[in-house]
Amino acid sequence: METDTHKRIIAFVIKSNWYLFIVATLLGFINTPFKFALGILCGGLLVTLNFHLLKRTLYKAFDPSKFEQSKFSLNNDNMEYSDGRSILSGVIVKYYIRFAISGIVIFALINRNIVEPMGLIIGLSVVVASIMAATTLELTRLIFKEAV
Amino acid sequence: MDFFTACVWAAGIAIGIAAFGCGIGQGMGLNGAVQGIARNPESSGKVTVTLLIGLAMIESLCIYALVVALILIYAHPQAAEIIKTVAAVAK
């Protein structure tokens, strides 16, 4: 039951993420100047790709089939896989590489005046908006369930 | 010129504080997730989904701070007017 809820939430976030990105980009290109719309496109694409890469990293790192119960325990201070690799360091290194690349791309976009910064901020909010939408939906569902 | 120096200071302090807070938040989240999975490996799916959403939210805060810091340095909205005013005063 709870696993279904979690699967549903992540599926909703991923779907709504792409929908919001496409809708925001289209609306941007129709209604706003080119640089502003380009900002929405670049920001949305960057943050969506980031989210998918984060998902991939976390699912790979916390895959139950990858670690053995005996090795992966609180007695082991390093919290490592059965082959000795540290889980935390792997996730953190990948996170910093991803974040550095995002930072460089955003720096280039703003520094060279390729995009409008406000458009970029709107594009970067796509994932946050979809997570908020998922939370609101789940809360609404919970409230109505309790009311019934 | 003092205004632009202040902008650079503000940008540096802003991204520093944001990175500090987000780093602590993400570290705590990741630590909690790893400990939770270590205690109960069957719950890894649920913990990973919650962690993914939490990390995405925290990460976006740091990206916002980065964008604001870069705007302050490279794309300040009033930069042109301030340069004009400073030039007029200098004349």
On whether any CB of chain B is under 8 Å from the CB of A72, the answer is: yes
As a whole number of angstroms, the distance between CA B18 and CA A103 comes to 14
The residues near A147 (Cβ < 8 Å, ≥ 6 apart) are none
What confidence tier does B90 reach under pLDDT thresholds 50, 70, 90?
Answer: confident
- What ipTM was estimated for this complex? 0.72
Write out pLDDT tens, residues A99-139.
889 989 999 999 888 999 899 999 999 999 998 888 888 88
- B47, B30 in Cβ contact below 8 A? no
Interface test with B, best of A110, A115, A139 (most B CBs within 10 A): A110
Give the pLDDT confidence score for residue A77 in this predicted structure.
Answer: 53
Q: Do A13 and B45 touch (CB under 8 A)?
A: no
Q: Delineate the domains of chain B, giving CATH numbers in brackets.
A: 2-90 (1.20.20.10)
What confidence tier does A27 reach under pLDDT thresholds 50, 70, 90?
Answer: very high
Residue A73 pLDDT greater than 70, yes or no: no
Write out pLDDT tens, residues B4-52.
888 899 999 999 999 999 999 988 998 898 888 888 888 878 888 888 8
As a whole number of angstroms, the distance between CA A67 and CA B23 comes to 26
Interface test with B, best of A62, A85, A99 (most B CBs within 10 A): A62
The residues near A33 (Cβ < 8 Å, ≥ 6 apart) are A116
CA A35 to chain centre: 24
On whether any CB of chain A is under 8 Å from the CB of B71, the answer is: yes
What is the pTM assigned to this prediction? 0.79
**Nearest Cβ partner of A117 from B52, B53, B75?**
B75
Which chain A residue shows the shortest CA-CA distance from B30? Answer: A88
What does the block give as tokens for B49?
Answer: 């989904």
As a whole number of angstroms, the distance between CA B91 and CA B22 comes to 46
Element (H, E) at B77: none
As a whole number of angstroms, the distance between CA A14 and CA A134 comes to 10
How close A30 comes to chain B (CA, Å)?
24
What does the block give as tokens for B59?
Answer: 């990460």
First to last CA, chain A: 18
